[in-house]
């Protein structure tokens, strides 16, 4: 019995777009319960990597195994992958703008996605309680009946995180949650993610180093560069790594 | 829609009164001789178009699928009913043969096998559901599984109905060729050429319309409706919320095809003819215009659009036959440009305008 089963294993992943290698021989392992931060310069392949995991695009070669290799993600489509418990928050907040905040959460609730269920199923009082508590967590209780399209940018980000919570996903893939947020909002987002760590496995993609330091707290950080893992380790180690400094600051550091 | 309780009650009140007028008042006035038989018959036709418009709205307004082949399902329903009606003519036709006239004319001496079961009304009735439903199922399955979306879906549905109309124009299809079916006499033993039968058909149409509108109201308010509108607004996101959008679209496509087919089946005995010109792309486009004019995404709007455009058409094609299409085109352009929510959205649009005017006048 492995005490920490490998939840997600990516091996030898390759994906190129018109000859541009977005992902190149990528190996990536994620343990159950981890809170992993992925950083890397623009074009490092971070979002493409999430696209591969969630089935938005298929890799040219390589494998993606889920839950101790019980499932091969490459054989599944977007909604089948979602149903395994892999939820995603997109880089630009993607909520249903013409639906209310409440309806956005109802649509994301864990449970059957069948047509019959959607026709005749009622939202149970348990589920309503759950929505109530999520609304509180994401501080949108007073906006429950507003159309999501009218929310402020930061609120939309939070709503999308709330949608992940409603789904009760095993793995949360969170793409730049702090983008466009104020410092205070960013900090609160960090606290929210930290409170979820342990209950869920989380992968956070982020640029903001203050935020990364806040949430990683000695946990493993992965640096992607040119579609490959450049180095992994605690944030202090990563920040002092020669190669990381080089890719972030350019060739200058080498010359100096 | 964020209707306040009061305006929602007014809305429902108006709906109930309209339903009462259409279902009870009109036929009663007709039986009393106040409304002419011709007029009631015309309204029966409008209501059939209203049902067709709702079926388009279900796809276009609520799911974002602009189907330009809805006239095909409408006509298929009509043809299924027509086959039964043709066989019910019996030996009363021009050629005094048990075969439909067009078959005698084409030199047939026996009824083709696929026509035989249509002698039974229950069979014909079930085919009204099955044939258009199956057609939508197969076409929809292929289209949605291949993730054909947006304008490509519209073009394909248009091609589908065009192809079907070409097939039905052919005599060797044994569906009456370009003349289609006509000269109907009886339905379930009732003489179609007397006012009381036509009145019953009108009432059936009104009942069907009310049932369809209520069914769609329920459907669009369920969680299914939430998913439907989510697909319309952001289909990719719905996939990443774990819904198989293809299945949802397929379901609504089939439901809407069957609704259109039922409308067609009631249309044919009231109008007395069905031919392939009913399934040309123009007919589908015309119905899309009714929906746009009435207000898509509202269920009642499309009915309003279908009735008013066709009432206008009946009048305009009589008074200004050359100008009718100009009329229609101009009003379509005006509505698209200035009334994005259509006729049904006009009151709230005016309200908003009044509010803005007021604010302007109170401002120094």
The two structure tokens encoding residue A229: 């893992």
CATH of the domain at A159: 3.40.50.300
Min Cα–Cα distance to chain B from A245, Å: 35
Question: Domain of A199?
Answer: 6-255
Would the CB atoms of B229 and A96 count as touching at under 8 Å? yes
Identify whether the C-beta of residue A47 lies closer than 8 Å to the C-beta of residue A40.
no
Chain A residues lying within 8 Å of B245, measured CB to CB: 79
By the CB < 8 Å criterion, does B242 face chain A? yes
Percent of chain A beyond pLDDT 70? 95
Interface test with B, best of A53, A76, A79 (most B CBs within 10 A): A79
Taking CA B13 as the corner, what is the angle to CA B47 and CA B55, rounded to the nearest 5 degrees?
Answer: 35
- The CA dihedral of B236, B238, B244, B250, to the nearest 10 degrees, is -80
Q: How many domains does chain B have?
A: 1
Query: Per the domain annotation, does A1 fall within a domain?
Result: no
Min Cα–Cα distance to chain A from B259, Å: 18
pLDDT at A68: 86
pLDDT at A244: 86
Query: Per the domain annotation, does B270 fall within a domain?
Result: yes
Query: Per the domain annotation, does B1 fall within a domain?
Result: no
Interface test with A, best of B240, B249, B340 (most A CBs within 10 A): B240
Would the CB atoms of A108 and B247 count as touching at under 8 Å? no
pLDDT at B261: 97
Alpha helices in A41-109 (DSSP H): 46-54, 78-83, 101-108
DSSP codes, B275-336: -GGGGSHHHHHHHHHHHHHH-TTSSHHHHHHHHHHHHHHHHHHHH-TTTHHHHHHHHHHHHH
Q: How many domains does chain A have?
A: 1
DSSP 8-state secondary structure symbol assigned to residue B240: T
Identify whether the C-beta of residue A206 lies closer than 8 Å to the C-beta of residue A5.
no
Query: Per the domain annotation, does B352 fall within a domain?
Result: no
Would the CB atoms of B224 and A115 count as touching at under 8 Å? yes
Min Cα–Cα distance to chain A from B205, Å: 26
Min Cα–Cα distance to chain B from A105, Å: 10
By the CB < 8 Å criterion, does A20 face chain B? no
- Extract the runs of DSSP E, i.e. beta strands, from chain A: 6-17, 20-31, 35-39, 61-66, 71-72, 86-89, 171-175, 201-205, 221-225, 228-233
Would the CB atoms of A163 and B240 count as touching at under 8 Å? no
Query: Per the domain annotation, does A84 fall within a domain?
Result: yes
ipTM of the complex: 0.86
Contacts with A, B 195-234, CB within 8 Å: 219, 222-224, 226-227, 229-230, 233-234
Min Cα–Cα distance to chain B from A20, Å: 25
Confidence of residue A3 (pLDDT cuts 50, 70, 90): low
Would the CB atoms of B241 and A115 count as touching at under 8 Å? no
Question: Domain of B124?
Answer: 26-287
By the CB < 8 Å criterion, does B241 face chain A? yes
By the CB < 8 Å criterion, does B137 face chain A? no
Would the CB atoms of B233 and A98 count as touching at under 8 Å? yes
| Segment A100-110 mean pLDDT | 92
Query: Per the domain annotation, does B312 fall within a domain?
Result: no
Phi, psi for A145 (deg, rounded to 5)? -105, 15
By the CB < 8 Å criterion, does A75 face chain B? no
In a 3-state reduction of DSSP, which class is residue B97? coil
Per-residue pLDDT for chain B (364 aa), expressed as one digit of tens each? 444 567 778 888 888 999 999 999 999 999 999 999 999 999 999 999 999 999 999 999 999 999 999 999 999 999 999 999 999 998 888 888 889 999 999 989 899 999 999 999 999 999 999 999 999 999 999 999 999 999 999 999 999 999 999 999 999 899 999 999 999 999 998 999 999 999 999 999 999 999 999 999 999 999 999 999 999 999 989 999 999 999 999 999 999 999 999 999 999 999 999 999 999 999 999 999 999 999 998 899 999 999 999 999 999 888 988 888 888 888 888 888 888 889 988 888 888 888 888 887 776 5
Confidence of residue A42 (pLDDT cuts 50, 70, 90): confident
By the CB < 8 Å criterion, does A179 face chain B? no
**Per-residue pLDDT tens digits for A180-203:** 888 888 888 899 899 888 888 999
Query: Per the domain annotation, does A207 fall within a domain?
Result: yes
Chain A residues lying within 8 Å of B251, measured CB to CB: 115
Min Cα–Cα distance to chain B from A219, Å: 28
pLDDT at B161: 95
Interface test with B, best of A87, A113, A170 (most B CBs within 10 A): A113
Chain B residues lying within 8 Å of A56, measured CB to CB: 240
Give the number of beta-carbon pairs within 8 Å between A and B.
Answer: 71
Q: Which residues contact B95 (CB under 8 A, 6 or more apart)?
A: B101, B104, B105
**Per-residue pLDDT tens digits for B47-101:** 999 999 999 999 999 999 999 999 999 999 999 999 999 999 988 888 888 899 9
Would the CB atoms of B241 and A108 count as touching at under 8 Å? yes
């Amino acid at each position: 019995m492995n005490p920490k089963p490998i939840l997600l294993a990516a091996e030898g992943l390759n994906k190129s777009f018109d000859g541009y290698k977005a992902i190149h021989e990528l190996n990536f392992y994620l343990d159950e319960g981890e809170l992993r931060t992925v950083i890397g310069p623009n074009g490092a392949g971070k979002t493409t990597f999430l696209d591969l995991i969630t089935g938005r695009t298929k890799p040219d070669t390589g494998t993606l195994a889920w839950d101790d290799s019980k499932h091969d993600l490459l054989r599944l489509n977007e909604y089948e992958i979602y149903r395994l418990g892999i939820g995603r928050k997109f880089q630009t907040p993607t909520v249903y703008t013409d639906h209310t905040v409440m309806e956005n959460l109802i649509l994301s609730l864990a449970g059957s996605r069948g047509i019959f269920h959607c026709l005749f199923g009622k939202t149970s009082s348990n589920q309503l309680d759950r929505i109530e508590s999520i609304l509180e967590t994401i501080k949108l209780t007073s906006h429950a009946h507003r159309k999501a399209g009218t929310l402020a940018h930061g609120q939309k980000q939070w709503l999308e995180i709330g949608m992940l919570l409603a789904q009760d996903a095993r793995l949360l893939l969170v793409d730049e949650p702090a983008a466009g947020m104020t410092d205070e909002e960013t900090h609160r987002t960090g606290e929210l993610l930290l409170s979820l760590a342990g209950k869920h496995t989380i992968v956070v993609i982020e640029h903001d180093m203050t935020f990364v330091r806040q949430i990683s707290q000695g946990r493993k950080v992965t640096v992607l560069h040119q579609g490959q893992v450049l180095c992994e380790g605690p944030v202090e180690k990563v920040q002092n790594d020669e190669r990381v400094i080089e890719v972030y600051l350019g060739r200058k550091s080498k010359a100096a | 829609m964020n209707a306040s309780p009061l305006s929602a009650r007014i809305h429902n009140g108006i709906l109930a009164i309209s339903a009462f007028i259409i279902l009870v008042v009109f036929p009663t006035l007709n039986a009393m001789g106040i409304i002419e038989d011709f007029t009631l018959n015309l309204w029966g036709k409008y209501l059939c178009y209203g049902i067709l418009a709702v079926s388009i709205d279900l796809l276009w307004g609520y799911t974002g699928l602009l189907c330009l082949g809805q006239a095909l399902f409408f006509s298929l329903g009509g043809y299924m009913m027509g086959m039964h009606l043709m066989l019910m003519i019996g030996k009363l036709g021009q050629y005094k043969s048990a075969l439909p006239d067009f078959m005698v004319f084409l030199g047939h001496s026996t009824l083709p096998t696929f026509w035989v079961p249509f002698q039974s009304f229950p069979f014909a009735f079930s085919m009204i559901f099955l044939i258009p439903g199956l057609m939508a199922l197969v076409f929809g399955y292929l289209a949605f599984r291949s993730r054909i979306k947006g304008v490509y879906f519209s073009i394909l549905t248009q091609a589908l109905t065009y192809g079907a109309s070409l097939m039905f124009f052919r005599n060797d299809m044994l569906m009456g060729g370009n003349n289609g079916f006509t000269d109907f006499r009886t339905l379930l033993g009732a003489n179609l050429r007397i006012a009381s039968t036509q009145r019953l058909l009108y009432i059936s149409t009104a009942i069907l319309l009310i049932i369809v509108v209520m069914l769609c109201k329920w459907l669009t308010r369920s969680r299914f409706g939430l998913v439907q509108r989510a697909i319309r607004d952001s289909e990719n996101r719905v996939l990443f919320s774990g819904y198989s959008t293809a299945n949802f679209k397929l379901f609504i496509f089939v439901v809407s095809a069957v609704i259109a087919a039922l409308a067609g089946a009631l249309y044919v005995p009231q109008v007395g003819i069905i031919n392939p010109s009913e399934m040309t792309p123009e007919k589908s486009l015309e119905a899309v215009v009714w929906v746009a004019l009435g207000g898509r995404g509202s269920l009642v709007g499309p009915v309003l659009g279908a009735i008013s455009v066709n009432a206008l058409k009946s009048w305009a094609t009589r008074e200004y036959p050359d100008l009718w299409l100009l009329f229609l085109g101009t009003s379509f352009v005006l509505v698209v440009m200035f009334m994005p929510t259509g006729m049904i959205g006009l009151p709230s649009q005016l309200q908003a305008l009044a509010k803005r005017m007021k604010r302007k006048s109170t401002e120094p």
